[in-house]
C-alpha cells in the first residue's frame, strides 16, 4: 500500500505542478486559515486583517478556477472534439495542440493509439486495393486468354495475330515500347513489328543471330536473355538507349513444349514492374498460348507442303506409268522404222521425215524426263532459298554457264504455294535460256526492298529475240501464258524484254499474300520514342 500511496502522491504532485495550482491553492488555504483565525479571535484582530483574508481567499479561488478551466476543462473539451472527428473518419486528427495541460500524458497515449489505428486503416485500404487490382488483373487475364484462343482461329496471318497482342501486352504493363520477333528455321530471329521504337534501330535488328538480343535487363527466366549495359548498347546502335534506371525489359518467350518459337520484349518503367509476380505469370501464360499458335501455324504450313509433295509425287508416278511409257514405245518404233528405211534404201525424203519425227520424240522425251525430275524433286525442306541454290547449281553443271544469284532480301515468310510459283518461274526461265539463249552469263535476283514490291529477275546475255518472231513459234504462247498465270497467282505481273544480240530479261513484280504489304510493314515499324 505504501508504494501505491507513493505513486498516487507523486501523480498528484505532478498534476498540481503541470496545472500550476500550487500557489493558488496555497493562497486559498492561507485565506481560509486567516479568516477562521480572525473569526475565532473576535475583537483581538483588526478589521483590515479580516478584509485581507477575504481578498486572499477570493483571489486564490479565482486563480484556481482559472487554472482548472485552462489546464483541465479546455483540454478535455479539445480531446472530446478530436475523438469525435477521428470517429467520423477524418485523417490526420491529433488530440490537443500543445496546450493540453494536465492531460499531456493522456493526450500522447491517445495520439499514439490514433496513429496505430490510422496505420491499420491504411494497411487495410492498401490490402483491399491490392486485392481489387488483383481481381481486375485476373479478369483482364481471362479476357486476354479468351481473345488469344479465339484469335488463333480467326487471324488471317501469324504476323497479324502477334502484332495485335503486341499492343495488348504493351498496354497491360504500361510499356514505353514493345517488339515481337519470331525464330526462323535457319537459326535467326525475324522482327515482326514494333511499337514505340525507332525504325532504324528495329530494322537493323530485323534479322539477328538467335544468341543476340535487344539491349536491356531481362526479368523473366528463359533461353533467350540479354543483359547488356546501356552505354555499350548506345555505342553499338549509334543512338541513345533506355537507361537501366529508367526502364526494365520484360521478355515473354513464345514457348511450345521446350522450344522457343518467338519472343515479346516489353520496355516498361520500373514502377510498373515493382510488383510483377502475378503479372509475369499472366504474361508467360499468354506467351505459351501464342507459342501454341505459332507451332500450329507452322505445322499447318508443313502439312500443306507435304500435301503438295505427295500430290506432285503421285502425278509424277502417273506420268511415268502412262505418257512416259508411251513415248518410250514410240522412240523404239521410230528407231525400228529408221533402220528399216535405211535397209530398204527408200527415198531420202522418207528418211528425213523419219529423222524429224525421231528428233521431236527425243525432245518430248527429254522434256518429260525433266518434268518428272522437277516433280520428284520439289522444294527443299528448308524453303525457297536452298531450292534455288540447288536448281542453279544443277543448271551450271548441265550447261557450264556461270549463274550469279543475288539475294537482296532477308529470308521472307513466303507461303508454300508462293515458293512453288517462284521456283517454277525461275525453272521455266532457265529452261528457255538452256534451249534458245546461247548465253555466256545468267543472273538471278530476288529483291525485297523495292518501292514497287518484291522483284524476281532472271536475265542473260544471250542472242535474244524479236518479240513478234519469237511469239509466232509453236508453243511459245503456251509458255508465256503459264508464266503470266503463275504471276497472277502471286498477285503480281511479269514482263519479258529482249532484243536480238542483247539478251533477255524476265522481271516479276509481286506482293506476297502471306505477310503484310511492304507499306503496311514500314508504317508499323516507323515509330519513334526519344
Is 144 within a domain?
A: no
pLDDT of residue 147: 78
Q: Give the pLDDT score at 48.
A: 64
Determine, yes or no, domain membership for 18. Answer: yes
Q: Mean pLDDT highest for which of 291-305, 319-333, 465-479?
A: 291-305
Q: Would you state the cell numbers that stand for residue 219, as one nine-digit string?
A: 526479368
Return the residue matching grid coordinates 522434256. 367
- Dig out the grid coordinates for 456 from the structure: 524476281
Do 296 and 176 sit in the same domain of this protein?
yes
Binned at pLDDT 50, 70 and 90, residue 456 comes out as very high
- Claim to verify: residue 174 and residue 104 sit in the same structural domain: no
Higher pLDDT: 359 or 233? It is 359
**Do 40 and 89 lie in a common domain?**
yes
What three-state secondary structure class fits 275?
Answer: coil
Across residues 3-22, what is the average pLDDT? Answer: 57
Cα separation of 216 and 526, whole Å? 21
Pick from 61, 89, 113: which residue ends a domain? 113
Q: Are residues 176 and 102 in the same domain?
A: no
Which of residues 135 and 109 earns the better pLDDT score?
135
Digit-coded pLDDT (tens) for 400-448: 899 999 888 765 667 777 888 888 889 888 888 888 888 999 999 988 7
Cα diameter, the chain: 193
Give the pLDDT score at 444.
93
| Chain centroid, CA 129 distance in Å | 29
In a domain, 365, yes or no: no
Residue 137 domain-assigned (yes or no)? no
Do 19 and 72 contact (CB within 8 A), yes or no? yes
Say if 123 falls within a structural domain. no
pLDDT at 528: 30
Tens of pLDDT, residues 356-366: 777 777 777 77
Supply the pLDDT for residue 346.
Answer: 60
Rounded CA-CA distance 258/175 in Å is 28
> Which one has a higher pLDDT value, 68 or 394?
394
The pLDDT of residue 508 is: 93
Q: Quote the pLDDT of residue 233.
A: 54
Q: How far apart are CA 110 and CA 387, in angstroms?
A: 86
Decide if pLDDT at 373 tops 60: yes
Residues 171-205: pLDDT tens digits? 888 888 888 888 877 667 788 888 876 544 444 44
DSSP assignment of 165-195 equals: HHHHHHHHHT-SEEEEEEE-TTSEEEEEEEE
More confident: 509 or 226: 509
Residue 210 predicted with pLDDT over 50: no
Query: Residues, the chain, total?
Result: 530
Q: What is the DSSP string of 208-252?
A: EETT---SSBB-S-SSS--B--HHHHHHHHTS----TTTEEEEEE
User: Do 102 and 157 fall within a single domain?
Assistant: no
Return left, alpha or beta for 179; rule: phi > 0 is left, psi -120 to 50 is alpha, else beta: beta
Pairing of strands 493-498, 504-510: antiparallel
Structural domain boundaries enclosing 419: 382-518
Q: What is the DSSP string of 372-421?
A: HHHHHS-S-TT-HHHHHHHHHHHHHHHH---EEEEEES------HHHHHH
Boundary-marking domain end, from 259, 279, 300: 300
**CB-based contact 427:374 (threshold 8 Å):** yes
The pTM for the full model equals 0.47
Q: How far apart are the first and last CA of the chain?
A: 80
Indicate whether 75 and 157 sit together in one domain: no
Lowest-confidence region among 336-345, 460-469, 475-484, 491-500: 475-484
Domain co-membership, 89 together with 166: no
At 525 the pLDDT is 30
Q: Which residues pair with 444 in a beta bridge?
A: 405, 458
Number of domains composing the chain: 3
Q: Which residues contact 258 (CB under 8 A, 6 or more apart)?
A: none
Q: Name the domain boundary from 243, 269, 300.
A: 300
What φ, ψ does residue 334 adopt, rounded to 5°?
Answer: -65, -40
Q: Residues 115-161: pLDDT tens digits?
A: 787 788 788 888 888 888 778 777 877 777 777 777 776 666 788 88
Whether the pLDDT of residue 474 is over 70: the answer is no
CATH of the domain at 402: 3.30.565.10
Could you tell me the pLDDT band of residue 398, with boundaries at 50, 70 and 90? Answer: confident
pLDDT of the residue at 404: 92
CATH code at 166?
3.30.450.40
Is 323 domain-assigned? no
Residue-wise pLDDT for 478-527, tens only, equals 567 778 888 888 888 999 898 888 899 999 998 886 543 333 333 333 33
| Domain contains 373 | no
- Selected residue with higher pLDDT from 334 and 484: 484
Same domain, 184 and 252: yes
Task: Say if residue 479 is exposed, middle or buried (CB neighbours under 10 Å; 0-12, 13-18, 19+).
Answer: middle
Q: Please write the tens of the pLDDT for every residue from 266-322.
A: 888 776 555 566 677 778 888 888 888 888 888 888 888 788 777 777 777 666 666
Mean pLDDT of the chain: 70
Q: What is the predicted pLDDT for the residue at 376? A: 55
Cβ-Cβ contacts under 8 Å for 306 (sequence gap 6 or more): none
pLDDT reported for residue 522: 34
Amino acid at each position: 500500500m505504501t508504494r501505491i500511496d507513493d505513486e498516487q502522491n507523486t501523480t498528484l504532485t505532478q498534476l498540481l505542478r503541470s496545472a500550476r495550482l500550487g500557489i493558488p491553492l496555497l493562497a486559498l488555504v492561507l485565506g481560509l486559515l486567516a479568516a477562521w483565525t480572525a473569526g475565532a479571535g473576535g475583537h483581538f484582530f483588526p478589521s483590515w486583517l479580516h478584509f485581507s483574508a477575504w481578498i486572499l481567499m477570493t483571489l486564490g479561488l479565482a486563480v484556481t478556477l482559472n487554472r482548472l478551466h485552462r489546464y483541465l476543462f479546455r483540454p478535455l473539451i479539445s480531446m472530446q472534439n478530436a475523438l469525435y472527428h477521428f470517429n467520423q473518419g477524418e485523417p490526420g486528427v491529433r488530440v490537443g495542440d500543445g496546450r493540453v495541460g494536465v492531460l499531456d500524458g493522456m493526450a500522447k497515449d491517445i495520439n499514439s493509439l490514433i496513429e496505430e489505428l490510422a496505420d491499420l486503416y491504411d494497411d487495410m485500404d492498401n490490402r483491399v486495393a491490392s486485392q481489387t487490382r488483383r481481381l481486375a488483373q485476373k479478369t483482364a487475364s481471362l479476357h486476354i486468354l479468351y481473345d488469344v484462343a479465339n484469335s488463333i482461329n480467326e487471324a488471317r496471318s501469324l504476323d497479324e495475330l502477334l502484332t495485335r497482342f503486341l499492343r495488348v501486352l504493351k498496354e497491360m504493363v504500361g510499356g514505353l515500347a514493345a517488339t515481337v520477333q519470331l525464330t526462323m528455321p535457319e537459326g535467326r530471329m525475324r522482327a515482326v513489328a514494333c511499337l514505340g521504337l525507332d525504325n532504324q534501330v528495329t530494322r537493323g535488328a530485323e534479322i539477328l543471330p538467335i544468341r543476340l538480343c535487344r539491349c536491356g535487363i531481362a526479368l523473366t527466366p528463359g533461353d533467350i536473355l540479354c543483359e547488356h549495359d546501356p552505354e555499350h548498347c548506345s555505342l553499338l546502335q549509334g543512338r541513345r538507349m533506355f537507361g537501366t534506371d529508367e526502364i526494365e525489359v520484360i521478355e515473354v518467350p513464345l514457348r511450345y513444349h521446350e522450344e522457343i518459337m518467338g519472343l515479346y520484349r516489353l520496355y516498361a518503367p520500373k514502377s510498373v514492374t515493382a510488383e510483377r509476380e502475378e503479372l509475369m505469370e499472366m504474361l508467360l501464360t499468354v506467351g505459351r498460348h501464342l507459342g501454341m499458335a505459332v507451332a500450329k501455324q507452322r505445322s499447318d504450313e508443313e502439312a500443306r507442303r507435304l500435301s503438295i509433295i505427295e500430290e506432285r509425287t503421285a502425278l509424277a508416278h502417273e506420268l511415268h506409268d502412262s505418257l512416259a511409257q508411251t513415248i518410250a514405245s514410240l522412240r523404239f518404233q521410230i528407231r525400228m522404222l529408221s533402220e528399216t528405211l535405211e535397209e530398204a534404201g527408200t527415198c531420202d525424203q522418207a528418211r528425213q521425215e523419219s529423222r524429224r519425227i525421231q528428233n521431236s520424240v527425243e525432245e518430248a522425251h527429254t522434256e518429260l524426263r525433266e518434268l518428272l525430275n522437277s516433280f520428284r524433286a520439289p522444294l527443299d525442306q528448308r524453303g525457297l532459298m536452298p531450292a534455288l541454290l540447288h536448281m542453279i547449281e544443277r543448271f551450271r553443271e548441265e550447261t557450264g554457264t556461270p549463274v550469279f544469284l543475288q539475294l537482296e532480301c532477308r529470308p521472307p515468310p513466303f507461303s508454300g504455294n508462293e515458293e512453288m510459283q517462284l521456283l517454277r518461274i525461275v525453272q521455266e526461265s532457265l529452261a528457255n535460256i538452256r534451249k534458245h539463249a546461247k548465253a555466256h552469263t545468267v543472273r538471278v535476283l530476288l529483291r525485297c526492298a523495292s518501292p514497287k514490291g518484291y522483284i524476281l529477275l532472271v536475265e542473260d546475255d544471250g542472242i535474244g529475240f524479236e518479240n513478234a518472231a519469237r511469239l509466232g513459234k509453236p508453243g511459245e504462247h503456251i509458255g508465256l501464258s503459264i508464266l503470266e498465270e503463275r504471276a497472277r497467282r502471286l498477285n503480281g505481273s511479269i514482263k519479258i524484254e529482249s532484243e536480238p544480240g542483247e539478251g533477255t530479261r524476265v522481271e516479276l513484280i509481286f506482293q506476297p499474300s502471306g505477310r503484310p504489304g511492304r507499306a503496311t510493314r514500314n508504317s508499323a515499324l516507323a515509330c519513334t520514342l526519344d
